[in-house]
Amino acid sequence: MASTAGKVIKCKAAVAWEAGKPLVMEEVEVAPPQAMEVRIKILFTSLCHTDVYFWEAKGQTPVFPRIFGHEAGGIVESVGEGVTELAPGDHVLPVFTGECKDCAHCKSEESNMCTLLRINTDRGVMIGDGQSRFSINGKPIYHFVGTSTFSEYTVVHVGCVAKINPNAPLDKVCVLSCGISTGLGATLNVAKPPRGSTVAVFGLGAVGLAAAEGAKMAGASRIIGVDLNPRRFVEAKKFGVTEFVNPSDFDKPIQEVLTEMTDGGVDRSIECTGNINAMISAFECVHDGWGVAVLVGVPHKDAVFKTHPMNLLNERTLKGTFFGNYKPRSDIPAVVEKYMNKELELEKFITHEVPFSEINKAFEYMLKGDSLRCIIRMQEE
């Protein structure tokens, strides 16, 4: 097969032309990767709730036409100038937040908030030249969080690409490119529950269930799942959740219910809903003196977190994280190895699978609360 390196590739992509309208399969032109960029052939992608928020654009800035998608696995097709760590044929996971390896954040052991490549949900172009690499008849189609994986080929900054074990099945490990790493890391890297502690998880989607899985690995003895969707409680048992609370079953604030259930509050709580009231409850339900709450859900753009300062003075800690504090290039290959060594199960997060042509079904499953992760297969048999 003739090399496509340096040439424009024409391929299929699912384009969001308008907020909330079904994606449309289009033939797009994908420009070659420029300096410090990589062009990736996507084999599998999946849908995360963050894609849905920005597609709906109800509480987020509308940027259209746009190619969504940020949880995926693929193979490097070609690399741009200056790229030395990746080569065509490498198996990779693109990540919505990057690691330049050079800034103060990348050099800090505590942060993954790279100055150059940290998540920017409103930018629809590449950082190198402020242009999009996607077009239809010369008209640009915008990127999403630097990944745009709902396309057979995409261009990503090298700092947002994790090179992984080529034997890892991409149809499974693609979920480590966002949701599962985020939830797992939120618990293991940020909340850090001590062995024997009580952990509350708000929102039992894939991110929250990965947080619960992390709590189980850390040796938490009680893991309390909080969700409005009672169907989630059946699935959650497989992820170590030991008790379930549905806020709609109570007429008092859920933080009061949790405080009573745990004799003063939970030791750790991890919020994975994106709902501002759940975020406040997740903070206010932690025990005074030592409790730590970690926010993971992506909030409405106008949301304001409101709590009495006394809740903080009483020695509660409030934190937040993107991507579970993992640095994509340095840390994600080892998370993939956890799956390879059977220390981490991914199959149970994958509830649905659709061919690329039926990508809109993945949105329906998530909006109805039916799916955890729906894998979208790019190559149709």
Ligand X SMILES: NC(=O)c1ccc[n+]([C@@H]2O[C@H](COP(=O)([O-])OP(=O)(O)OC[C@H]3O[C@@H](n4cnc5c(N)ncnc54)[C@H](O)[C@@H]3O)[C@@H](O)[C@H]2O)c1
Q: List contacts with ligand X (CB under 6 A).
A: 48-50, 53, 178-179, 182, 202-208, 226-229, 232, 247, 272-275, 277-278, 296-298, 321-323, 366, 369
Site string for Zn ion, 261-300 (x = CB under 5 A): ----------------------------------------
Number of residues that bind Zn ion (CB under 5 A): 7
Count of alpha carbons within 13 angstroms of residue 360, beta-carbon side = 9
Instruction: Indicate which single residue of 160, 174, 178, 376 sits in contact with Zn ion (rule: CB under 5 A).
Output: 178
> Which of 205, 199, 369 lies closest to 270, judged by CA?
199
105 in active site: no
CA–CA separation, 182 and 263 (whole Å): 29
- Supply φ then ψ for residue 66, to 5 degrees: -145, 150
User: Which DSSP string corresponds to 333-366?
Assistant: HHHHHHHHTTSS--GGGEEEEEEGGGHHHHHHHH
What token pair was written down for 22?
Answer: 């079904």
CB of 294 to ligand X, least distance (A): 10
CA–CA separation, 149 and 245 (whole Å): 35
CB of 182 to Zn ion, least distance (A): 7
Q: Which residues pair with 16 in a beta bridge?
A: 66
Q: Which of 29, 103, 243, 317 is catalytic?
A: 103
In this structure, the number of other CB atoms found within 10 A of the CB of residue 241 comes to 26
CB of 187 to ligand X, least distance (A): 13
70 in active site: yes
Indicate whether 145 belongs to the interface with Zn ion (CB under 5 A). no
Q: Which residues pair with 268 in a beta bridge?
A: 199, 292
272 in active site: no
3-state class of 252 per DSSP? coil
Which are the contacts of 196, defined by CB distance < 8 A and separation ≥ 6?
219, 220, 221
Closer CB to Zn ion, residue 48 or residue 174?
Answer: 48
Closer CB to ligand X, residue 134 or residue 363?
Answer: 363
Q: Which of 114, 160, 174, 285 is catalytic?
A: 114
Of Zn ion, ligand X, none, which one sits near residue 114, judging by CB under 5 to 8 A according to partner kind? Answer: Zn ion
CA–CA separation, 122 and 144 (whole Å): 8
Closer CB to Zn ion, residue 54 or residue 311?
Answer: 54
Of ligand X, Zn ion, none, which one sits near residue 55, judging by CB under 5 to 8 A according to partner kind? Answer: none
CA–CA separation, 13 and 157 (whole Å): 19
In this structure, the number of other CB atoms found within 10 A of the CB of residue 260 comes to 11
Closer CB to ligand X, residue 248 or residue 379?
Answer: 248
Q: Which of 4, 45, 50, 97 is catalytic?
A: 50
Indicate whether 177 belongs to the interface with Zn ion (CB under 5 A). no
Closer CB to ligand X, residue 80 or residue 247?
Answer: 247
Q: Which of 37, 71, 77, 235 is catalytic?
A: 71
- According to DSSP H, which parts of 116-204 are helical? 170-173, 179-185
- Of 17-25, 112-120, 142-150, 288-296, which segment contacts Zn ion by CB under 5 A? 112-120
Closer CB to Zn ion, residue 94 or residue 240?
Answer: 94
Indicate whether 50 belongs to the interface with Zn ion (CB under 5 A). yes
Q: Which of 11, 178, 272, 374 is catalytic?
A: 178
11 in active site: no
CA–CA separation, 182 and 173 (whole Å): 13
* Interior angle at CA 14, CA 11 and CA 19, nearest 5: 150
Give the residue closest to ligand X by C-beta. 205
Of ligand X, Zn ion, none, which one sits near residue 155, judging by CB under 5 to 8 A according to partner kind? Answer: none
71 in active site: yes
114 in active site: yes
Which are the contacts of 106, defined by CB distance < 8 A and separation ≥ 6?
99, 100, 114, 115, 327
CB of 231 to ligand X, least distance (A): 9
Closer CB to ligand X, residue 28 or residue 211?
Answer: 211
By annotation, the residues acting in catalysis are 48-50, 70-71, 100, 103, 106, 114, 118, 178, 373
Residue ranges binding Zn ion (CB under 5 A): 48, 50, 100, 103, 106, 114, 178
